């Protein structure tokens, strides 16, 4: 049976620079291949990739990331697990958007954290008034959260962009309540509209109070498994010790060499091509939703990122919908996966960027049939 997989934040195959990566591999292996005989403790395979990371940040934020604060990680998932494993203990509290990346929630649960979800609206992001109430009420109970974990740009799953006033307020509150910020920018630079996002919390606030993380999964491809964490110096010994002796002793040098070699000269031309492909598919998805679900559901119109968040009629039976969709070969990610308390909300997330325009249209049509039948 034909499958319509609206799952995972996958990237478009047609914008993967296959020939660019092949050429980069040939150049960099000839020039630097022999450095791969060293161990990560003896040679930093990621010197060139760190420069790409730093310049990428500078391009948007006007100031580079300090190279000496960057840890290259095996995907941005490791940029989340490192600070969580190294800097929290079971029972600690972490404050997140009420809807947030399911992989992060799984990590927080894996390490025994209590998750406090703050409602967000799909345009301005996390509600900072509720954040204040929550921090105050936690403080009254003697609880100081270990981190506030926001995804300010093209929030997953809602696509929200945290507004500038909310960013400033979040930073103030974190400062007042002495809570570190773990800023997840993994959707950074997947801009689908000319409107710029506000500066990062890292750039706006005190960089000593922010751990900033990003990824090459969304702007290049998840399979390169390259992300990064930029952390204040005082945390680096613990984080590096954990990476070295508690996790993997070092991220792939081969992957890092090739990706750095390609992106060094092609980052922004690639991103422009890449986001154009995604934008067209986003528009196809929005059009199909309008055509087939316009009368009974609502959804986000994200300015960036790779996903659309769909709110279904309150009458929708989510179990039934799941069965019906499976019978028709339609896959999506169920709303509750993203919910801080695991509530079975009547929402779902559609990831469209890796699919063909035809499959998007047909998949949404089939999904709409299922929604109608399950409501």
Pairing assessment for the beta strands 147-149 and 180-184 based on DSSP bridges: parallel
Using the rule CB under 8 A, is 8 a contact of a second copy? yes
Indicate whether 176 belongs to the interface with a second copy (CB under 8 A). Answer: no
**Per CB under 8 A, 3 contacts a second copy:** no
Distance CA 82, CA 241 (A): 10
Three-state DSSP at 3 gives coil
Q: Does 334 bind a second copy (CB under 8 A)?
A: no
φ, ψ of residue 355 to 5 degrees: the values are -95, 160
Q: Which of 4, 11, 96, 118 binds a second copy (CB under 8 A)?
A: 11
By CB under 8 A, how many residues form the interface with a second copy? 66
**Which of 33, 165, 237, 342 lies at the binding interface for a second copy (CB under 8 A)?**
33
Burial class (CB in 10 A: 0-12, 13-18, 19+), 80: buried
Smallest distance from a second copy to CB 70, Å:
17
Residue 354 as a binder of a second copy (CB under 8 A): the answer is yes
Least distance (Å) between residue 40 CB and a second copy: 7
Map the footprint of a second copy across residues 133-172, applying CB under 8 A.
none
Part in contact with a second copy (CB under 8 A); list of ranges 69-77, 165-173, 263-271, 297-305: 69-77
User: Is residue 90 a contact point for a second copy (CB under 8 A)?
Assistant: no
Judged on CB neighbours under 10 Å (0-12, 13-18, 19+), 55 is middle
Degrees, nearest 5: CA angle 62-66-68: 165
Tokens of 275: 């986001």
- Our finding on whether 221 is near a second copy (CB under 8 A) is yes
Q: Answer yes or no: are the C-beta atoms of 262 and 16 closer than 8 Å.
A: no
Q: Is residue 363 near a second copy by the rule CB under 8 A?
A: no
Helices (H), ranges, the chain: 18-32, 47-61, 75-87, 102-110, 128-140, 164-176, 201-204, 236-241, 253-293, 318-327, 357-374
Q: Minimum Å distance from CB 258 to a second copy?
A: 7
Distance from C-alpha of 18 to C-alpha of 60, rounded to nearest angstrom: 26
Q: Which of 37, 91, 142, 195 binds a second copy (CB under 8 A)?
A: 37
* 209 class by beta-carbon count within 10 Å (0-12 exposed, 13-18 middle, 19+ buried): middle
Mask 243-262, x = binds a second copy (CB under 8 A)? -xxxxxxxxxxxx-xxx---
Q: CB nearer to a second copy: give 104 or 158.
A: 104
Give contact residues for a second copy (rule: CB under 8 A): 5, 7-13, 16, 18, 21-22, 25-26, 29-30, 33-43, 45, 73-75, 77-78, 81, 85, 103, 106-107, 109-111, 217, 221-226, 241-242, 244-255, 257-259, 354
């Amino acid at each position: 049976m034909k499958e319509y997989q609206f799952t995972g934040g996958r990237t478009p195959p047609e914008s993967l620079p296959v020939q660019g990566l092949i050429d980069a591999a040939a150049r960099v292996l000839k020039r630097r291949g022999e450095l791969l005989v060293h161990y990560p403790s003896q040679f930093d395979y990621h010197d060139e990739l760190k420069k790409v990371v730093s310049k990428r940040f500078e391009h948007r934020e006007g100031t580079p990331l300090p190279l000496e604060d960057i840890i290259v990680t095996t995907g941005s998932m490791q940029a989340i697990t490192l600070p969580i494993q190294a800097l929290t203990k079971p029972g600690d509290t972490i404050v997140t958007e009420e809807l947030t990346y399911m992989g992060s929630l799984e990590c927080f649960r894996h390490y025994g954290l209590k998750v406090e979800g703050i409602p967000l609206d799909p345009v301005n992001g996390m509600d900072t008034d509720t954040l204040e109430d929550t921090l105050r009420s936690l403080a009254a109970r003697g609880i100081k959260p270990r981190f506030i974990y926001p995804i300010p740009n093209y929030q997953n799953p809602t696509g929200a962009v945290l507004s500038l006033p909310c960013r400033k307020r979040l930073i103030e509150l974190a400062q007042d309540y002495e809570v570190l910020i773990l800023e997840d920018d993994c959707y950074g630079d997947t801009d689908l509209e000319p409107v710029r996002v506000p500066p990062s919390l890292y750039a706006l606030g005190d960089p000593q109070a922010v751990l900033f993380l990003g990824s090459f999964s969304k702007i290049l491809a998840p399979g390169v498994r390259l992300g990064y964490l930029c952390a204040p110096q005082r945390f680096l010994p613990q984080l590096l010790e954990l990476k070295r002796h508690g996790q993997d002793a070092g991220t792939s040098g081969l992957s890092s060499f090739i990706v750095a070699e390609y992106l060094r000269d092609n980052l922004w031309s690639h991103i422009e091509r890449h986001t154009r492909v995604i934008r067209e598919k986003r528009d196809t998805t929005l059009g199909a939703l309008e055509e087939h679900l316009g009368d009974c559901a609502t959804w986000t119109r994200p300015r960036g990122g790779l996903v659309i968040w769909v709110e279904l009629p309150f009458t929708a039976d989510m179990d039934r919908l799941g069965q019906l969709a499976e019978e028709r070969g339609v896959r999506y990610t169920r709303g509750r996966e993203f919910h801080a308390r695991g509530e079975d909300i009547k929402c779902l997330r559609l990831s469209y960027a890796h699919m063909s325009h035809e499959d998007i249209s047909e998949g949404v049509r089939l999904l709409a049939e299922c929604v109608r039948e399950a409501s």
